[in-house]
């Protein structure tokens, strides 16, 4: 088992700290910096992100640069034994730039140019904006790229947004020329003859026409492309300044508007911002499972390489509708969950609450009161003390046997296609993904989260809910995976469109999946609230399923074409049609589920797949509801995180192995009692 090097050179501890903004204080309250240094030690914080929104401090007027203030801060942090992730400040531009160069301000879909406000409202295409930030980035690298405190570059902040100015529309058309080569191919890919939308000149293309779903899908691809190109330009300027430090940028979980898989060619380390809203009720364990899904994706993105939790909140973000405080134990367990799922950094937004402006009430380590006495600070300090005992976890990873496919382009194709109903409520694409992941999370079975074009050969089981869009080569890759002995689970609305959002011909699931699954989905029905159909399991079915159930509000009318029927609908005109099938292909099997069948069925199915695929849970005893178990390993030791995400005490029966409590360096009894919201971190030999 490979152990990864630490994300920060010459630093083998878990990074702990957060966004630090001394530029807000040094003019009027210079003593605050000295007090911060004292509090950082008390909080057990060792790593800080600096300069994220400091453009106006670096360059208060065009061409006038001031770096001494940052050098002084870096010197003081280095002397105090702290390390720094230094940001490029492109995420929020100074007012003089907006005033001098109106073209840098974004244009909305109605053609109105934005005024100077907020942040992330700059045009990624603007040559002026690119030139200005490149000049500043190059100077930052020259000034601080070799400073001993600086260990990594933080590229911008939470990239987001789109622009409809003439420059962006021209760039989109150029991107389309490169993608399709000719208008004839583009018109076919978009089925543009419908409604007489055929294009005869490239200049006729306007991405605001949402009636062409192929163009809507391509526009989303382009927005990601242009974002990545802007990021590349930022990084190129830093490299020109002479720095060779690693690069990262902070993602935002499953943010719907950017395909984060495309960031991987640019960043050296994956990082995420995470702000869950706990409900303080019996549903919190479901929120924890959802967080696990997000964390698992970030761990999976670089093939198991540890990632960074670059922003989180020790208290509560101010922008929650009801900013309820985190109850005792919640913060600690939330942070340690990120560690359990592969993070090597736990950092916060923000270190100290500001006195004014937009986020003055956003949670922070240091409150407006300003000392170490508040409850939040003491909690952070306690966690910091715990983290010092976990150095051996740094660089360790997880090697799951299960992969769940989550693909932004599949999600976008569903979002941009009219007629794709969403009777389940919530996100049309994400809900079945969360439900599938949750069933493995409840059993302590680690799961990777990958996109559809990833290599699947290391897994025993691949689950792909609603694989609506098939990228080129995906069907062939899935067939190869199954033929070599893998197990594939597909669901309703799979294989509907190709990469251009064109429906497959010859029956669904298309693109080669019909033959692979051994089923034909003749029709799909969407039921009204309260409606369902009865389902029974086939006697003697090969998975051993037995409990009858009901369909959810989506139901495909399936025909078995060589596949074994495991479950059948018994009511309405669906009666006699299969709803769950198995097709044996080569050494493996493909399961196809034609309707959501409820949580109880999902649990029974997961138990059956666990037996079928011989999946190895982290702990071989059943887990109480609301308890999560995750594992990391360096090949010699396994680090087991057992977490209670409920208000009730829970007992976990450990399997017959010798465990050591890493927090107390003591042996652990076979029956482990967890207090409400408690985490226990154990180690055992591999």
Q: Which two tokens stand for residue 140?
A: 């930052």
- Residue 38's contacts (CB-CB under 8 Å, 6 or more residues apart) are none
Measuring CA to CA, how many Å separate 17 from each of 549, 561, 576? Answer: 49, 57, 60
CB atoms within 10 A of CB 281: 8
The set of long-range contacts for 412-417, using a CB threshold of 8 Å and a minimum separation of 24, is 412/217, 412/220, 412/221, 413/213, 413/217, 413/468, 413/469, 413/497, 413/501, 414/466, 414/468, 414/469, 414/493, 415/256, 416/210, 416/213, 416/216, 416/217, 416/220, 416/501, 417/213, 417/468, 417/497, 417/501
Cβ atoms 207, 219 nearer than 8 A: yes
| Residue 538 DSSP symbol | P
> How far apart are the C-alpha atoms of 87 and 70, rounded to whole Å?
12
CB atoms within 10 A of CB 162: 21
Q: Answer yes or no: are the C-beta atoms of 415 and 429 closer than 8 Å.
A: yes
Taking the C-alpha atoms of 668, 670, 673 and 679 in order, what is their torsion angle to the nearest 10 degrees? 50
Helix spans in 563-642 (H): 599-613
d(CA 290, CA 441): 9
- Residue 81's region, left for phi above 0, alpha for psi from -120 to 50, else beta, is left
* Residue partners of 53: CB distance under 8 A and separation at least 6: 21, 89, 91, 92, 119, 157
- Token pair for residue 227? 């974002």
User: How does strand 487-491 pair with strand 461-464?
Assistant: parallel
311 is catalytic: yes
Measured CA to CA, the distance from residue 334 to residue 375 in angstroms comes to 17
Catalytic residue among 158, 334, 401, 499: 158
d(CA 293, CA 449): 7
One of 59, 162, 234, 311 is an active-site residue; which one? 311
223 forms beta bridges with none
Measured on CA atoms in the order 15, 21, 23, 26, is the torsion positive or negative?
negative
Could you give the CA distance from residue 158 to residue 546 in angstroms, rounded to a whole number? 48
Helix (H, G, I), strand (E, B) or coil at 540: coil
User: Which H/E stretch holds residue 385?
Assistant: helix 375-387
Strands 47-50 and 83-87: what pairing?
parallel
Helix spans in 161-283 (H): 166-180, 183-190, 213-240
CA separation, residue 606 to residues 297, 316, 441, 566, 614 (Å): 20, 35, 11, 14, 12
From CA 456, how far away is CA 454, in angstroms rounded? 6
Q: What is the dihedral of CA 141, 147, 153, 156, to 10 degrees?
A: -60
DSSP label at 209? Answer: -
Please give the Cα distance from 383 to 45 (Å, whole number): 10
Q: Which residue numbers are catalytic? A: 158, 311
């Amino acid at each position: 088992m490979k152990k990864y090097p630490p994300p920060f050179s010459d630093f083998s501890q878990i990074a702990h700290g957060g966004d630090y903004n001394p530029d807000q204080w040094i003019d009027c309250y210079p003593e605050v910096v000295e007090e911060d240094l004292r509090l950082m030690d008390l909080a057990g914080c060792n790593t800080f992100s600096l300069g994220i929104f400091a453009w106006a401090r670096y360059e208060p007027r065009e061409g006038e640069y001031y770096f001494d203030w940052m050098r002084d801060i870096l010197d003081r942090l280095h002397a105090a034994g702290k390390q720094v992730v230094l940001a490029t400040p492109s995420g929020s531009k100074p007012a003089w730039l907006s005033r001098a160069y109106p073209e840098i301000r974004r244009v909305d879909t109605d053609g109105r140019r934005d005024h100077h406000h907020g942040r992330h409202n700059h045009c990624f295409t603007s040559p002026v904006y690119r030139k200005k930030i490149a000049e500043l980035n190059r100077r930052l690298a020259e000034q601080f790229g070799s400073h001993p405190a600086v260990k990594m570059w933080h590229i911008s902040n939470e990239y987001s947004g789109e622009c409809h100015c003439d420059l962006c529309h021209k760039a989109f058309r150029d991107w389309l020329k490169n993608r399709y080569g000719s208008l004839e191919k583009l018109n076919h890919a978009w089925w543009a003859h419908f409604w007489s939308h055929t294009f005869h000149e490239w200049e006729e293309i306007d991405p605001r026409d949402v009636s062409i779903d192929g163009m809507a899908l391509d526009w989303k691809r382009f927005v990601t492309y242009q974002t990545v190109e802007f990021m590349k330009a930022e990084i190129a300027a830093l490299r020109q300044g002479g720095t060779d430090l690693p690069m990262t940028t902070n993602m935002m979980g499953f943010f719907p508007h950017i395909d984060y898989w495309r960031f991987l060619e640019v960043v050296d380390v994956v990082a995420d911002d995470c702000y869950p809203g706990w409900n303080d009720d019996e549903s919190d364990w479901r929120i924890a499972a959802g967080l696990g899904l997000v964390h698992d994706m970030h761990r999976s993105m670089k093939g198991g390489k540890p990632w960074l939790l670059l922003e989180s909140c020790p208290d509560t973000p101010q922008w929650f509708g009801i900013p309820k405080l985190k109850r005792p134990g919640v913060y600690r367990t939330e942070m340690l969950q990120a560690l359990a799922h592969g993070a090597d950094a736990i950092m916060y937004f923000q270190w100290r609450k500001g006195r004014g402006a937009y986020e003055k009430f956003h949670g922070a380590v240091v409150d407006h009161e300003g000392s170490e006495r508040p409850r939040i600070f003491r909690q952070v300090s306690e966690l910091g003390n715990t983290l010092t005992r976990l150095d051996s976890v740094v660089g360790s990873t997880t090697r799951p046997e299960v992969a769940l496919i989550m693909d932004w382009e599949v999600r976008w194709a569903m979002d941009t296609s009219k007629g794709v109903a969403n009777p389940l409520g919530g996100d049309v694409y994400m809900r079945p993904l969360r439900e599938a992941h949750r069933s493995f999370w409840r059993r302590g079975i680690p799961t990777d989260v990958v996109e559809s074009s990833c290599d699947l050969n290391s897994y025993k089981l691949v689950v792909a809910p609603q694989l609506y869009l098939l990228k080129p080569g995906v069907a062939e890759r899935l067939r190869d995976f199954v033929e070599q002995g893998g197990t594939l689970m597909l669901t309703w609305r799979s294989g509907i469109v190709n990469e251009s959002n064109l429906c497959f011909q010859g029956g669904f699931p298309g693109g080669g999946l019909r033959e692979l699954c051994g089923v034909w989905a003749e029709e799909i029905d969407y039921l009204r609230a309260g409606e369902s159909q009865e389902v029974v399991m086939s006697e003697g079915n090969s998975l051993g399923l037995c409990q009858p159930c009901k369909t959810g509000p989506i139901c495909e009318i399936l025909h078995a074409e060589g596949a074994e029927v495991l479950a059948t609908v018994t009511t309405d005109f669906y009666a006699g049609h299969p709803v769950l099938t198995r097709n044996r292909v080569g050494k493996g099997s493909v399961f196809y589920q034609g309707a959501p069948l409820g949580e109880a069925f999902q649990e029974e199915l997961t138990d059956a797949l666990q037996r079928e695929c011989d999946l190895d849970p982290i702990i071989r005893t059943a887990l109480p509801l609301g308890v999560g178990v995750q594992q990391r390993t360096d090949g010699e030791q396994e680090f087991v995180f057992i977490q209670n995400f409920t208000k009730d005490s829970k007992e976990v029966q450990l399997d017959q192995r010798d465990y050591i409590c890493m927090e107390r360096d003591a042996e652990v009894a076979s029956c482990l009692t967890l207090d409400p919201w408690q985490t226990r971190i154990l180690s055992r030999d591999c």
